Structure 1
Amino acid sequence: MDKYEPIRILGEGSFGKVYLMRHKVERKLKCVKVIKVKNIPRKEREACRVEVELLRRLNHPNIVGYKESFLTRNKESLCIVMEYCDGGDLCDVIKKARRQLFPESKVLHWFVQMALGLHYMHSNRILHRDLKTQNIFLLGNGRLVLGDLGISKVLEGTMDFAQTCIGTPYYMSPEIFKNKPYNHKSDIWALGCVLYELTTLNHAFDAASLNGLASKIIRGKYPPIHPKYSRNLRNLIDSMLDKSPSARPDLEDILKLPFIKKQIQHFFSDIVSRPSAQIGDGTQIVRAAALQMVPGQAANGNVIDSPDVNSLTKQLNHLGLTSIITRALAPPETKQPKEGMSDRSVKRLVKEQKGALRREEERRQAVEA
C-alpha cells in the first residue's frame, strides 16, 4: 500500500471497503478494493481469489481495468487495484436525468459498449450474473465499463448451465425465479432490463414485495416504451425480455443487427475523430484497435501494444465488423452537384447535406453531453 495515498472511501460492505486512492509516482487516481481476508470463511476467501483471477484474465476496454493485487504487510487484507471510473455509475446517471428521457443516440452509445464488454465475457465462457445499472460505470470521456465481477461464473468446457441463484431481484430472469437452470441468456435478460431502464428511467419490473416482483417477472409484462424511440430499439428490448431463454438473442446476433452496426460505426467514427489529447488511456485503446484493423491506418495513430487492443481487434474481426470500422475511419462523403442539374435540384442537394450535418452534430452533442 506504500505506493498509494488514500483520498476517500467510495463504498463499504461486510468484508471490506473500496477507496479512491492516488498512485504516488504516476499521480493517477485508482479504485482500490480492500478485502479483509483474515478469519473470513473459506467460501468468501475463494471468491476473492476468483475475482482477482477473473480481472487478471479479462482484457477489454469495456470491462473495468485491473491494475494489480497484493496482500497488506500484516497479511490481513487483500488489495485489488482497478481503474477509477470518474463518471459514476449508470444508476446515478438515470437518477440525475430527472424524468428527462435520454436521446436514442446516447442510449445506443452506451448499449454498444455494454454489449461489446459482455460479448467478450461470454466468448471467454464467463457469465457476469449480476448486471445492473449500479455495476456499469462511466468514465468522464464517455467510455463505459462493466464492473463488479466478483460473482461471475467461469464455465468449464462449453457454455454450460449454472445453478447458483445470484443477482439483483429487479434484473433476475424468469428461469431463476422458477429455480430452473440458466446460462448466458440470463445475462441477456439483465442487459435487456438495463436497456429498458435507459429508455424509461424506471425498472421494467417493480413491486412492493419479492413475491410480487417474481410474479411480474414470470408473467413477463412491463409498461410500454415511449414511442419516441425507434421500432428497432423497442423490438430489441422485447426480444431480450422474452420469457423463454431460447428465444432471446445471443450478443453476437444483437451486435450484427443493422441499426446496431450503424451505431458501432458512429461510435468508432467519434473516437477516431477526437484529438488524442481529449481522450483517456482506455479510449486510446479503442482508437488503436480500430486503426489496427484497417490497412495503412495504424501509422496514423500511436501504435499501442496491449492485451486490450488485441482482444478488441480480435473481437471485432470475429464479429465481421471490418467493413464497418473501415467506413468509420473513412472521411465523410460530400456529394457534388452534377453538371446539368437544375437550380432546384442543387438547392435540394444542399439542403439535404445541411440536414445531414445538423443531425450528425446533434447526435454528437447528445453522446457527449
Structure 2
Amino acid sequence: MEKTTSGGGGGGGGGDNKKDRIFRADKIDLKSLDKQLEKHLSRVWSRNIEKNHKAMEEEWEIDLSKLETRNVIARGTYGTVYKGIYDDQDVAVKVLDWEEDAKNRDLFRQEVTVWHKLNHPNVTKFVGASMGTTNLKIKSADSENSLPQRACCVVVEYVPGGTLKQYLIRNRRKKLPFKVVIKLALDLSRGLSYLHSEKIVHRDVKTENMLLDAQRNLKIADFGVARVEALNPKDMTGETGTLGYMAPEVIDGKPYNRRCDVYSFGICLWEIYCCDMPYPDLSFVDVSSAVVLHNLRPEIPRCCPNALANIIKKCWDGNPQRRPEMEEVVKMLEGIDTTKGGGMIPEDQSSGCFCFAPARGP
C-alpha cells in the first residue's frame, strides 16, 4: 500500500511529501478555507470588472491628443459645441460640464450609449468620446482658461450647413419648392424610423436639432435627452423636449412611447412647409393648456396639397395610438407626387396662403 501512496519513481522523499498532504477531515479549518476562497474569487471578479470596463472604454474612448478644438459653434442647455479636427477629419466637439451634478454625468453617458452604435445617413455620425478633458486643447480665446476641470466631451462628424431651423428662417419670405419640402421630410422621417427600429426615442425632435450638410441632406443631431424605449410605457414619463413640439401626453405628464416623436415630426413637417414658427404669439402657458385641453395645432395653409396635409394631421393626432409609425410615414411621403408643385406661396407673390384660393406654389 505504501508503494501505491508514494507513487512510482519518486523516491522516499516524494512519498513523504505526498503523505504530508493527507489531512483528517475533522482537522480541516473550514472557516480559513472559506476566507481564502473568498479572497481568491474577489481578486478574479475585480480583474474581470476592470477588464470589462477597459473593453467598454475602448468602444468609444478617443485619444484627446489627436483632437484640436477651435471656435465655438453653439451653446446649449447641455454644453458648448466647438468645431475641431480629429485624425484629419472635421468634427464637432460637445463639451459637457460635470461639476458636482450627477445629472450631467448621466446625460453624457446616456448620449454616448445611444449614439455610438448608430449608423444611418440621416443621423449624425458618432466619432468618439472622452470621460475627461485633461488633454483637451481649445484654441478659442474665450475657452481655454474657463474649461471646467470635470468636463467630458463627445465628438461627432461636423455638418457644415447649419441647422434646419436656420435654413427655414432664411427662406421665410420666399418659401421652399415642394420637392425640397418632401426631400427634407423624407430625410427626417427615415432617420426617425431608423432610431425607432433601434428602440430609441429621441424625445426632442425639433428643427433646431436637425443639421444640413453641404448637399442639403438632413441629419438628426443632439441625443442629449434620447433614451432606449422602455418595455413598460409607464416607465417613460416626465416633461422632456421643447414645448412647441411636445406631444400632449408628454406635456400632461402621462406615460408615452416613440409616438411622441411622431407628434413632434408633424410639427416639424408643418414648419418645413410653411417656413414659419408654430404658435409665435402664444406664451408657454397658453400653448401648454391649449394643446392638451383644446387640441390646438398650427393652422395648415389651404394651398398645402391634401396628401401632405393628411400626413401632418395624422402625425399630430391627440391620441398617440392613432398616430402612424414613422415607417408608415416614410411610405406615405414617398407616394407624394411633387411634379405639379404645391409649395407654399412666396410672400411677395401673394397676400398669404391662408386663403380660399386654390393657388399652388412651386
The interval holding the TM-score normalised by the smaller chain is 0.5 to 0.7
The aligned amino acid for 2:116 is R
**Matching of residue 73 in structure 1 with residue 125 in structure 2:** no
Residue 225 and residue 41 in structure 1: after superposition, are their counterparts in 2 closer, same or farther (change >3 A)? same
Question: Which one of 298, 303, 319 corresponds to residue 244 of structure 1?
Answer: 319
4+ aligned runs moved over 6 Å, structure 1: none
Q: Which residue of 2 aligns with 1:270?
A: none
- Structure 2 CA distance, aligned partners of 1:173 and 1:45? 27
Q: Quick one: distance in 2 between partners of 1:153 and 1:196? A: 25
> Higher mean Cα deviation, 118-127 or 149-158?
149-158
1:147-193: CA deviations, max 9, x gaps? Answer: 11110121244777511211101101111222221111111110000
What is the correspondence of 1:33-112 to structure 2 with a 5 Å cutoff? 33-37=94-98, 39-70=99-130, 71-73=132-134, 76-112=150-186
- Gap regions ≥5 residues in structure 2: 1-63, 136-148, 342-362
| Number of residue pairs aligned between Structure 1 and Structure 2 | 264
Amino acid at match of 1:40: E
Q: CA deviation at 1:143?
A: 1.6
Identify if the C-alpha distance between structure 1 residues 159 and 179 changes in structure 2 by more than 3 Å, giving closer, same or farther.
Answer: closer
- Going by fraction, where is helix more abundant, 1 or 2? 1
Q: Please list the CA deviations of residues 78-111 of structure 1 after superposition, one character each: whole Å capped at 9, or x if unmatched.
A: 1211011100001101110132221111011011
Counterpart AA for 1:181: P
Match of 1:32 in 2: 93
SS at 1:256 equivalent: helix
Change (3 A) 1:205 1:248: farther
Q: 2:85 aligns with which of 5, 8, 22?
A: 22
Query: What amino acid is aligned across from residue 92 of structure 1 in structure 2?
Result: Q
Between stretches 206-215 and 170-179, larger displacement belongs to 206-215
User: Do the aligned residues in 2 keep the contact of 1:94 with 1:198 (CA within 8 Å)?
Assistant: yes
Whose Rg is larger? 2
Question: What are the equivalent positions in structure 2 for 1:147-186 lying under 5 Å apart?
Answer: 147-157=221-231, 162-186=236-260
Give the TM-score, by structure 1 length. 0.66
Other structure's SS at 2:116 match: helix
Q: Is the 8 A contact 1:206 1:213 kept in 2?
A: no
Q: Percent sequence identity over matched residues? A: 29
Letter in 2 for 1:42: A
1:204 to 278, 282, 289: 278
Residue 223 to residue 159, structure 1, CA distance change in 2 (3 Å)? closer
SS of the aligned residue for 2:115 comes to: helix
CA RMSD, 1 decimal: 2.5
Query: TM-score of the superposition, structure 2-length normalised?
Result: 0.67
Task: Map residues 251-262 of structure 1 onto 2, 5 A cutoff.
Answer: 251-257=326-332, 259-261=333-335
The 3 A distance-change label for structure 1 pair 14 and 249 is closer
The CA distance in 1 between the partners of 2:78 and 2:167, in whole Å, is: 27
CA distance in 2, matches of 1:100, 1:22: 36
SS in 1 for 2:299: coil
